[in-house]
Amino acid sequence: MSSYYEKILATGEVKCIDEEVPFEIPKGWEWTRIGNIFNHTSGKQQSSSNKGGGTPQKFITTSNLYWGHFVLDNVKVMNFTDEEIKTCSATKGDLLVCEGGAGYGRSAIWNEDYDICLQNHVHRLRPCINGICEYVYYFIYLLKESNNLASVGTAMPGLSANRLKGLLLPFPPINEQKRIVSKMEELISLINRYAKAQQSLDELNQNINEKIKKSCLQEAIQGWLNCPKLSTLLSNQKDVSVENLLERIKEEKLRLVKEGKLKKSALNDSVIFRDDDNRYYEKIGEDTVCIDDEIPFDIPVNWAWVRLDDICSFIHRGKSPKYSLIKKYPVVAQKCNQWSGFSIEKAKFIEPQSISSYKEEYILQDEDLMWNSTGLGTLGRMAIYYKKLNPYELAVADSHVTVIRPYKQYVVSEYLYYYFASNTVQSVIEDKSDGSTKQKELSTKTVKSYLVPLPPMEEQMRIVEKVEELTQLLK
């Protein structure tokens, strides 16, 4: 291989540049410096000291310059003199290159029909030969993409004027440049399509488990996972029917009212039914109203729509207590309740002597549901309190958490948890909340009025078992 030499015209010096030449080029091509085929200049420095003189002009900064295009919706204005407008502006056909920052080297051709001024961190390359900018643009792009566009500086990388003008360029004839540019545009279009498809695939792979889980959960709470034989069996056995289950809950409420543990108003249950016109109605006492617009989906014939309050013995927000460093009685807060599970380790602790001020029903019981009722990022998150997983004697909830205690001999807490975790509830959680955009809140009244699709007890357990089985498979 013959050696490559470079002659410095200003001094007449000739030097060997073999170590700079990365590869052999075809016959008819030449190695040259970018500074040999472009006239270079930079823009005007932007500072508080140069506001005087000249006239206000729009100017481009590195924040406007991206690979192959410009973003001009945030163009700034600075004073330029007539001489600065001549020397620090771009005209149609100029190649502009970012000097500094993480985006150093970013380039685009100015193809607008008007001139625009430049900031000093933007290089302007004006071609000495027409039609070469597109080829040189791709040359710079490939250098940067292949990590061969070395920068100056470490804290703030950059591409100095001397470094840019000194870049060694394999320079083909104009017709060959055009063929290369055409092929590059074709290939980059294919690459962009592939990158977009790959991004979609990566997002799908990342979210597929969660999407499948939510889909299975939604099917479960709508009764789509029903086994036909089991559904027929349940609907034909009165002792496991929803009607019988609701009647037992009513009997339980009556017992608790007689014992003074529930108010008499707890007996005012609503009855939701589908009438002959195929619409849903709710009867409370003597009043009957159509609630068809509240029903999110149809359910199997042996299920029933109920209000959450009608199947729970306790729904109430916790209290904001005086906290203590003595770790004896934990207070469940929003951060304790995650969809990934309940974490007692994140709880604060109540003053030990304050526990006696709590009524018995405010002490958390096994399998209580804890629903985050305030906040933007935490609103609607739910967890189940399992006493066996709490190393402490007693626990309570703070005022940002609503405790939901179903009649556990008739309603499975895990079933309610999966229902409230479904898209049916979570997708409208903010619509049902009160408060400002900064602080959303689910009132106790709203929580109590939530509609729940209630299957027979055995079906609830089967759904929970199936969802947990599918969740484990997804893991």
Whether pLDDT at 108 is above 50: yes
pLDDT tens digits, residue range 129-166?
Answer: 999 999 999 999 999 988 888 765 555 678 999 999 99
Q: Which of 222-236, 246-260, 277-291 has the lowest mean pLDDT?
A: 222-236
Whether pLDDT at 237 is above 50: no
Identify the residue whose tokens are 């689910």: 442
Give CA–CA dist 17/2, Å, rounded: 11
Q: What is the mean pLDDT of residues 46-60?
A: 78
pLDDT of residue 49: 59
Give CA–CA dist 261/252, Å, rounded: 11
Q: b/e per residue, 217-244, with b = 16+ CB within 10 A? A: bbbbbbbebbeeeebeebbeeeebbbee
Phi and psi at residue 423, to the nearest 5°? -60, -30
Instruction: Check for a shared fold between 5-172 and 228-474.
Output: yes
Give CA–CA dist 188/431, Å, rounded: 44
Phi and psi at residue 453, to the nearest 5°? -80, 110
Single pTM value for the model = 0.58
Of the candidates 128, 74, 121, the residue with the CA atom closest to the CA atom of residue 97: 121
Confidence of residue 52 (pLDDT cuts 50, 70, 90): low
Which residue would you say has higher pLDDT here, 201 or 85?
85
pLDDT tens digits, residue range 65-105?
Answer: 999 999 999 899 999 999 999 999 999 999 999 998 778 99
277 CB contacts (<8 Å, ≥6 apart)?
none
Q: What is the mean pLDDT of residues 102-122?
A: 94
Whether pLDDT at 227 is above 70: no
Measured from the Cβ of residue 135, the count of other Cβ atoms closer than 10 Å reads: 20
Instruction: Evaluate the CA torsion angle 415, 420, 421, 427 in order and state its sign.
Output: positive
DSSP secondary structure letters along 352-364: GGGGGGS-GGGS-
pLDDT of residue 447: 94
Which two three-digit tokens encode residue 17?
């540049």
Arithmetic mean of pLDDT over the chain: 87
Q: What is the mean pLDDT of residues 187-203?
A: 87
Q: Which long-range contacts (CB under 8 A, 24 or more apart) does 144-152 make?
A: 144/105, 144/106, 149/104, 149/105, 151/104
pLDDT of residue 449: 94
pLDDT of residue 336: 92
Confidence of residue 53 (pLDDT cuts 50, 70, 90): confident
Provide the residue type at 242 as one letter: V
pLDDT tens digits, residue range 429-445?
Answer: 888 888 765 678 899 99
pLDDT of residue 224: 66
Confidence of residue 51 (pLDDT cuts 50, 70, 90): low
pLDDT of residue 232: 43
Is it true that domain 228-474 has CATH number 1.10.760.10?
no
For the chain, give the percent of residues with pLDDT over 70: 91
pLDDT tens digits, residue range 332-368?
Answer: 999 999 888 888 888 999 988 888 889 999 999 999 9
Q: What is the mean pLDDT of residues 1-15?
A: 82
CATH of 5-172, one of 3.90.220.20, 3.10.310.30, 3.30.1490.20, 3.40.225.10: 3.90.220.20
Of the candidates 425, 422, 415, the residue with the CA atom closest to the CA atom of residue 463: 415
Of the candidates 353, 362, 357, 365, the residue with the CA atom closest to the CA atom of residue 328: 353
Which residue would you say has higher pLDDT here, 218 or 144?
144
Q: What is the mean pLDDT of residues 250-256?
A: 90
Confidence of residue 4 (pLDDT cuts 50, 70, 90): confident
pLDDT tens digits, residue range 378-416?
Answer: 899 999 999 988 888 899 999 999 999 999 999 999 999
Domain ranges of the chain: 5-172, 228-474
